[in-house]
Amino acid sequence: LRLTAEGGTLDFDLAYRGPRKVAVPREQFVEGAAPAATATTDWLQREITEPARPGVTVAADGTDAMLVTGRNEASDGIASGLSYALRVQVQGDGRIVASAAGITVRGARQVTLLIAAATSYRGPTDQSAEPVALVRSVGTAAAAKSYEALRRAHVADHAALFGGMTIDLGSNPAAAALPTDRRIAAGESGTDPGLAALYLQYARYLLIASSRPGTQPANLQGIWNEGTSPPWGSKYTININTEMNYWPADPAGLGLCVEPLLRMTEELAVTGARTARAMYGAGGWVAHHNTDLWRASAPIDGPLWGLWPCGGAWLCNTLFTHWDHHRTDALLGRIYPLLSGATRFFLDTLIEDPKGRGLVTSPSVSPENLHPFGSSLCVGPAMDRQIIRDLFANTVAAGKRLKRDAAWLETVAAARAKIAPDRIGAQGQLQEWLEDWDEQAPDPHHRHVSHLYAVYPSGQINVRDTPELIEAAKVTLRRRGDLSTGWATAWRLCLWARMGEGDHAHDILNGLLGPKRTYPNMFDAHPPFQIDGNFGGAAGIMEMLLQSWCDTLHLLPALPSAWPDGAITGFRARGDLRVDLTWRQGRPQALTIRGPAGSTVAVQAGKESFTA
């Protein structure tokens, strides 16, 4: 980045040395006099009545570094749990003086900052890490290398993931010449196909930066939280938002980024087993609608949100989809205990519907929605039945592949067959509840479309096998409306794409890319900022171009008329497949599929089908 102002020209560059390492911004004066500069800390406050730096210590750390230490705040009567440290070291060709007030640099034409941060967190039951020692170690190691070496390592680390996929949706040269904020301001016009391609690649960048082996999963803000009291605590809402964060990961060639989600789910299964025993007297494990750094698994916030027992099951299904894109037994061996544990919980807790409609959960909610009787609590909402149907099927498939628990898997399959089926209501809609309450529900445009889980991200309801349920899902979506919060708009995009409605999906995408749902820096506008909309939008773009479900690869299943010519490379599909595709005038022109030796796949391209 080059900045020019009165008095001189400044080049700014930034390298980031891998997960949990060091950020390295560098400033270099190209023209003009180099002014004196001071690096200081500023502290966000929860309330203006608080001290400026509650519990924070700032001190010099040698002659060229500053060390900030402290503890996080107590909350809701719970004592502070973590200590942290931030170390800033300055390198430059001038005079550098560090003190508690900051680091002053005089006469330097080039300044590099080495910024390292750490906490005492090792895991949900271990806070014994020493953050001061960690930041000193990381900072010292970085200081021993040149900026050029650090930058090369940063570029190589990023490129190893980012370089695996390309997308070309055509271009509008006039739009492409504009700054990004102006392209977003005009995003609703739908005349800038390059903006959609940029949005997808930006989402890939966000996931690479926020979810890597050794880090936590991407939370509601990814890693870009600007406050001490972030929206929804920057936690993990697992009744849609966390799962949506990972929808684009495998199709976009970022399977490595799913590892933190797998590790979090493994840790959550431990606390979830305690919750299953204590709350339900059940085996296995359960998690409700939200979790956090400590892997909380019990209900929180009230019944409208919290009394929903399928959060852990949905995470399991997400992980099985991850495995399905790679199909290694080592990965499945990690996931199977999670699947089987969640399945055991529901085998213990599902009940027979009193009206004889099949097995159901009770009590539960359709996430965050009210039915017409002034309550959210209900028996067997559609989403629960759909998620558990997938969970049981995935458990059986995993167990058979690993040759485990054969007799028990028969029990699971028998229970799956008894789960109450999806129902079509009097308005022709897919029912959200066992009862036909949709028409009377107080919010006909509710942001959650939970009962369409079976359409996307699942494939239980699909255009090939269940056309009557697809039509009911379309009725539901039309009644809900196209535009909602950022992430909810992205889900609608994915749903219309999965149902093969390319121009409708494109209309929704235009709304998502416009200024009402995308900030000038391309962050998703819930509002406020939530990163799930970015990831859901990226998944929707890929769904328009390539889908893989029910053991079939679908080419251009929802291609909008606005993208008649284009190309993709490096898209991933289920079965450990890598796909390159070029199309002209809306029809496939060239196709390359790479997969395991000896593998075959059914391919659908419009009305044509073949085996590759």
The full set of domains in the chain, from first to last, is 2-139+148-162 (2.70.98.50), 255-445 (1.50.10.10)
Q: What percent of the chain shows pLDDT beyond 90?
A: 80
Residue 49: pLDDT band with limits 50, 70, 90: very low
Give pLDDT, residue 78.
Answer: 79
Above 60 in pLDDT, residue 90? Answer: yes
Tens of pLDDT, residues 317-358: 999 999 999 999 999 999 999 999 999 999 999 999 999 999
Give pLDDT, residue 46.
Answer: 44
Contact 557, 583 (CB under 8 A): no
The mean of the pLDDT values for the chain is 92
CA distance 266 to 262: 6
Q: Could you check whether the bond before residue 421 is cis, i.e. omega within 30 degrees of 0?
A: no
Q: What percent of the chain shows pLDDT beyond 70?
A: 92
Give pLDDT, residue 74.
Answer: 76
Residue 42: pLDDT band with limits 50, 70, 90: low
- Closest by CA to 389, choosing from 461, 496, 285, 288, is 461
Q: Within 13 Å of residue 431, how many CA atoms lie on the same side as its CB?
A: 16
Q: What is the 3-state secondary structure (H, E, C) of 237-301?
A: ECCCHHHHHCCCCCCCCCHHHHHHHHHHHHHHHHHHHHHHHHHHCCCCCCCCCEECCCCCCCCCC
Tell me how many degrees the CA angle 595-387-240 measures, rounded to the nearest 5.
85
Residue 374: pLDDT band with limits 50, 70, 90: confident
CA distance 389 to 406: 19
**Choice between 418 and 100, residue whose per-residue pLDDT is larger:** 418
Give pLDDT, residue 47.
Answer: 45
**Choice between 269 and 5, residue whose per-residue pLDDT is larger:** 269
Contact 535, 244 (CB under 8 A): yes
DSSP-derived 3-state class of residue 119? strand
- CA-based Rg of the chain, rounded to a whole angstrom? 26
Give pLDDT, residue 36.
Answer: 66
Please name the residue ranges forming H helices in 403-485: 406-418, 467-480
**DSSP-assigned states of every residue in 344-390:** HHHHHH-EE-TTSS-EE-SSB-STT--BTTTB--BSS-HHHHHHHHH
Contact 350, 388 (CB under 8 A): yes
**Choice between 230 and 410, residue whose per-residue pLDDT is larger:** 410
Above 50 in pLDDT, residue 158? Answer: yes
Contact 255, 213 (CB under 8 A): no
Give pLDDT, residue 2.
Answer: 47
DSSP-derived 3-state class of residue 75? strand
Mean pLDDT of all residues in 186-209: 97
Tens of pLDDT, residues 212-225: 999 999 999 999 98
Give pLDDT, residue 35.
Answer: 60
Above 90 in pLDDT, residue 83? Answer: yes
Least confident of 13-17, 90-94, 353-357: 13-17
DSSP-derived 3-state class of residue 342? helix
Mean pLDDT of all residues in 446-451: 97
CA distance 568 to 143: 41
Q: Is the pTM of this model over 0.85?
A: yes
CA distance 273 to 299: 14
Give pLDDT, residue 34.
Answer: 56
